[in-house]
Structure 1
Amino acid sequence: MTPLVTAAVLLAAVTHAGWNAIAHRITDKLVGFTLIAGGGVVIGLAMIPFVAVPAAGAWPYLLLSAAIHIAYYVLLMKSFRLGDFGQAYPIARGSAPLVVTVLAAVFAHEVPDAWAAAGIALSCAGLTGVALWGLRGRRPDWAAIGAALATGLTIAVYTVVDGLGVRASESSLGYIAWLMVLQGTIIPAYAIRRWRRQTLTQLLPSAPLGLLGAALSVSAYALVLWAQTRAALAPIAALRESSVKLCSYSNSFAGHGTW
């Protein structure tokens, strides 16, 4: 974790918090995620002519990651519908680094030393505290908590899959471009089939905000993928989840009409 890698992951946390706050602000979650995923496809297609094609060894990871990301989007939409954003988001993001640590040790042979393990544990403890603070004075919504934990599991799995895939790709930009194209078509296709002639009517009011979210989403994950080619997966995952607090502040401002 050099200073440059650390700075890249912290910048990714800021941009990640931004697109999640945008996704929460768009009331109709299908509209929001259609714009964000569809915008990612457009950005990926625009990048493909200018970046290297991922090496052959990366394609199984790309295809698996695309499937996992689709499940992640579906679960995240469900989490946002079922539970308060301040409850669902910290649980989803805070549960991921511990699972990443285990999966990275098994599949990437990356076992953190004592200091790294302490940092990961401290990060997860802090995120758990944010989630518990969001529950204060209220009865837990177990359906929302279950959906958030399932979302966290998908985050952990795609983090490790993409970490291995981008290392095999020989081009982090090529990997992110093709990942956006592969993962981003299903939700827009479902939305178009559902809305049919009403698709533009549904999307246009939120299009500027949603497309901004798409740009932030692609930028955030491109930074993370680049960092994963230069450092261990678990510390990157833990540092990236500092986005939880940033996103909580953004959501707080949004709720008061000032974000």
Structure 2
Amino acid sequence: MSAHVFVIVLCAAALHAGWNALVRVGLDRLLAVTLIQVGAGGIALVMLPAVSVPGAAAWRWLGLSAVLHVGYNVFLARAYGRGDFGQVYPIARGSAPLIVALVGLVALGDQPSLTGHVGVALLTGGIWWMAVRGDGRTKLPRVGLINALITSAFIAFYTLSDGLGARANHDAIGYVLWLFALNGLCMALLLWGMRGRQTLAAIAGHYRVGLLGGAMSMAAYGATIWAMSQAPIALVAALRESSVLFALAISALFLGERLSRQRLVAGVIILSGVVLLRLN
């Protein structure tokens, strides 16, 4: 993985943690997630005339990814409704790299070196430590844990789907814009179907947060999809999980969550995994 790809993925990780923290805006979690995804979809829709319509080979991946992203958003909202940001986020993000690495190895032939494998293992182990023993005293409720794990499965499979879709489209930015436009539409329709038209009006008053979070979400994922066209999918997906470090800082500095010794130790383990991935 080249230096500029490495830096871009780290910036994407910081943006991802940032938009997830915005889910704590004064709405219930499903409304907040939908607000941000609709905001991203609106931005993408404005930008669509600047990119080409995806080719036939990319549309099957776009359709699959739209479904997977909706599942991810729904279960992410459920998980945040049951647990602390500093614990849900690490589990949801941290379980995905091993799934991605395994499927990428078996199905796609992406073969990281021994250093890359050790980096993935350290990164994932550190994230799990932070999630389960993160503050030394509080464990995530079982329902929150289950929802976070399901969220992680969606992350793993949409990561693979989008990596393949971007490669098939030969235009990562165009693929991302179409994906976010579809995702925003799907989330708006889902919310309408679940709670009625009046809920869409309820989130309109928070449009600034939606646009900010949407821009952060789209920039973060666009950078990640582009990186997957430049480096092995498994390594990009694993490095992106360094967003947990940024989430740790946000939770302590802005959300008032406890920064314990356990979380600091887990952070060092995660950082070690990131360094090994850089040396891969």
Normalised by the length of structure 1, the TM-score is 0.93
1:213, 1:254 → 2: CA distance? 16
CA-CA distance at 1:141 after TM superposition:
1.3
Q: Are 2:37 and 1:37 aligned?
A: yes
In 2, Cα distance between equivalents of 1:199 and 1:73: 16
Q: Note closer, same or farther for the CA distance 1:144–1:50 as it changes in structure 2 (3 Å cut).
A: same
Q: Secondary structure at the match of 1:54?
A: coil
Q: Which residue of structure 2 aligns with residue 229 of structure 1? A: 229
- Residue 276 of structure 2 aligns with which residue? none
Aligned to 2:189: 189
Structure 1, residues 39-91: CA drift from partner, whole Å, max 9, x if none? 12111211211012222211111100110000000000000011222221111
Aligned-partner Cα distance in 2 for 1:226–1:26: 33
Structure 1 residue 108, shift from structure 2 partner: 1.5
Cα separation, partners in 2 of 1:219 and 1:26, compared to 1, 3 Å: farther
Question: How much does 1:190 deviate?
Answer: 3.3
In structure 1, how many angstroms separate the alpha carbons of the residues matched to 2:256 and 2:122? 31
Tell me, what secondary structure is at the counterpart of 2:231? coil
Q: What residue in structure 1 maps to residue 116 of structure 2?
A: 116
Query: Which residue of structure 2 aligns with residue 50 of structure 1?
Result: 50
- CA deviation after TM superposition for structure 1 residue 37, in Å: 1.2
Q: Which amino acid aligns with 1:89?
A: Y
| Structure 1 residue 147 displacement after superposition | 0.8
Classify 1:248/1:210 alpha carbon distance in 2 versus 1 (closer, same or farther; 3 Å).
farther
* 8 Å CA contact retained: 2:40, 2:210: no
Q: How does 1:4-153 map to 2 (within 5 A)?
A: 4-134=4-134, 136-153=136-153
Question: Percent identity, aligned pairs only?
Answer: 39
CA distance in 1, matches of 2:140, 2:15: 29
- Cα deviation digits, residues 195-250 of structure 1 (max 9, x gap): 434643x2244221222000000000000010000000111111101111211221
Contact 1:88 1:145 in 2 (8 A): yes
Q: 1:48 to 1:198 in 2, by over 3 A?
A: closer
Cα gap change, 1:62 to 1:91, in 2 (>3 Å): same
SS in structure 2 at match of 1:138 = coil
| 8 Å Cα contact 1:52-1:174 kept in structure 2 | yes
In the other structure, the counterpart of 1:173 is 173
2:197 partner amino acid: R
Residue equivalent to 1:210 = 210
Measured against aligned partners, the alpha-carbon deviations of 1:8-49 in whole angstroms (never above 9, x if no partner) come to 101100111110111134442132122211112111211211
Q: 1:198 to 1:68 in 2, by over 3 A?
A: closer
- 1:236 and 1:2 map into 2 onto residues whose CA distance is 11
> Are the equivalent residues in 2 in contact too, given 1:52–1:173 (CA < 8 A)?
no
1:134-191 deviations in Å (ceiling 9; x for gaps)? 3621354111111111111110001011111100101111100110111221222233
**Is the CA contact 1:66–1:182 (under 8 Å) kept in the aligned structure 2?**
yes
Residue 219 (structure 2) pairs with residue 250 (structure 1): no
Mapped to 2, the partners of 1:243 and 1:25 lie a distance apart of 20
Runs in 1 of length 4+ with deviation above 6 angstroms?
A: none
Per the TM alignment, residue 115 of structure 1 is displaced from its structure 2 partner at its CA by 0.9
CA distance in 2, matches of 1:36, 1:209: 7
TM-score, normalised relative to structure 2: 0.86
The one-letter code sitting in structure 2 at the alignment partner of 1:196 is R
RMSD, aligned α-carbons: 1.7
Shift in CA distance, 160/149, structure 1 to aligned 2, threshold 3 Å: same
Gaps of 5+ in 1: none
Residues 54 and 70 from structure 1, CA distance in 2 versus in 1: closer, same or farther, beyond 3 angstroms?
same
3-state SS of paired residue (2:206): helix
Code of the aligned partner of 2:221 = Y
The equivalent residue for 2:240 is 240
Using the alignment, how far apart are the partners of 1:129 and 1:239 within structure 2?
17
